[in-house]
């Protein structure tokens, strides 16, 4: 298995532009998580899905952020409009069955820079 | 609420010496505990986990961790550190008692620097 796949790996954009980050979870995993990592705030959970349904989006910072999971093999995180404070590394992770003690598998991340 | 504390920002250790990275946790019920490692420009990689049973858990790359319920700790250890162990280490906890909870609470991370 190729693991969790994220694209793009790097994104540089200007303030006000729309940004879309993509994630393909490990095949068969039914939980998908989006995290954001910054020096100041560390690793933050933004939202997670179970069987393509959003379960907890309490970590989404504001309405500019939205996430979708149209099918079991694809998810997107969109920021519109983007702001410089959104600059961070965004990780996607997936896990099997949601059994509490199953570890999460992380993708390589997307480094977003908003100028 | 579940939370994790990693009290040290950076841990410096000489190659060949024992390595310890500290973690304490807070949950309302019983914990599931995890350690992850992050190398530069990479995602987090799973190292080991505690679910139940033996308090000493062995994981990847020679790492182990000891669960101590009375001290609410789950320190990561390695008997002999390698330069290649230099990375960012995260402790995480999930509260077993919270039905439907699939959130992991991560600590802020500890930078480990192994000096040749």
Instruction: Determine which of A5, A45, A103, A107 to mutate to test the interface with B (most B C-beta atoms within 10 Å).
Output: A103
- Distance from the Cα of A104 to chain B's closest Cα (Å) equals 8
pLDDT digits (tens, 9 = 90+) for A13-55: 999 999 999 999 999 998 999 999 998 888 999 999 999 999 8
pLDDT at residue B1, rounded to an integer? 75
pLDDT digits (tens, 9 = 90+) for A88-114: 999 999 998 756 667 899 999 999 999
Q: CB distance B102–A95 less than 8 Å?
A: yes
Q: CB distance A108–B49 less than 8 Å?
A: no
Three-state SS at B60: helix
pLDDT at residue B98, rounded to an integer? 57
Identify the helix (H) or strand (E) that includes residue A74.
strand A74-79
pLDDT digits (tens, 9 = 90+) for B80-99: 999 999 999 999 998 765 55
- Distance from the Cα of B110 to chain A's closest Cα (Å) equals 11
Q: CB distance A101–B32 less than 8 Å?
A: yes
Q: What is the Cα–Cα distance from A87 to A82, expressed in whole angstroms? A: 9
pLDDT digits (tens, 9 = 90+) for B38-85: 998 889 999 999 988 899 999 999 999 999 999 999 999 999 999 999
| The 3-state secondary structure of A54-69, one letter per residue | EEECCCCCCCCEEEEE
- Distance from the Cα of A107 to chain B's closest Cα (Å) equals 5
pLDDT digits (tens, 9 = 90+) for A57-92: 989 988 999 999 999 999 999 999 999 999 999 999
Three-state SS at A15: coil
Contacting B with CB below 8 Å, chain A residues are: 4, 31, 42-43, 45, 48, 50, 55-56, 91, 93, 95, 98, 100-101, 103-109
Identify the helix (H) or strand (E) that includes residue B73.
strand B73-78
pLDDT band at A6 (very low <50, low <70, confident <90, very high): very high
pLDDT at residue B99, rounded to an integer? 56
Contacts of B46 in chain A (CB under 8 A): 103-105
Point out which residues pair with A92 in neighbouring strands. Answer: A34
């Amino acid at each position: 298995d190729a693991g969790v796949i994220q694209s793009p790996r790097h994104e540089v954009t200007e303030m006000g532009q729309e940004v879309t980050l993509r994630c393909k979870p490990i095949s068969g995993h039914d939980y998908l998580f989006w995290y954001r990592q910054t020096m100041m705030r560390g690793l933050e959970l933004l939202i997670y899905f179970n069987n393509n349904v959003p379960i907890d989006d309490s970590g989404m910072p504001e309405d500019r952020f939205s996430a979708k999971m149209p099918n079991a093999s694809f998810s997107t995180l969109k920021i519109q409009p983007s702001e410089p404070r959104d600059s961070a590394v965004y990780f996607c992770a997936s896990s099997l069955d949601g059994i509490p003690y199953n570890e999460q598998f992380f993708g390589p991340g997307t480094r977003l820079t908003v100028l | 609420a579940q939370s994790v504390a990693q009290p040290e920002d950076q841990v410096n250790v000489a190659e060949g010496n024992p390595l310890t990275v500290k973690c304490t946790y807070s949950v309302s019920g019983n914990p599931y505990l995890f350690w992850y490692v992050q190398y530069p420009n990479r995602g987090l990689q799973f190292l080991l986990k505690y679910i139940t049973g033996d308090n000493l858990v062995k994981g990847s790359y020679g790492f182990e961790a000891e669960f101590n319920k009375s001290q609410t700790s789950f320190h990561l250890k390695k008997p002999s550190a390698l330069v290649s162990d230099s990375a960012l280490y995260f402790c995480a906890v999930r509260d077993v008692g919270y039905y439907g909870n699939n959130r992991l609470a991560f600590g802020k991370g500890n930078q480990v620097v192994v000096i040749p």
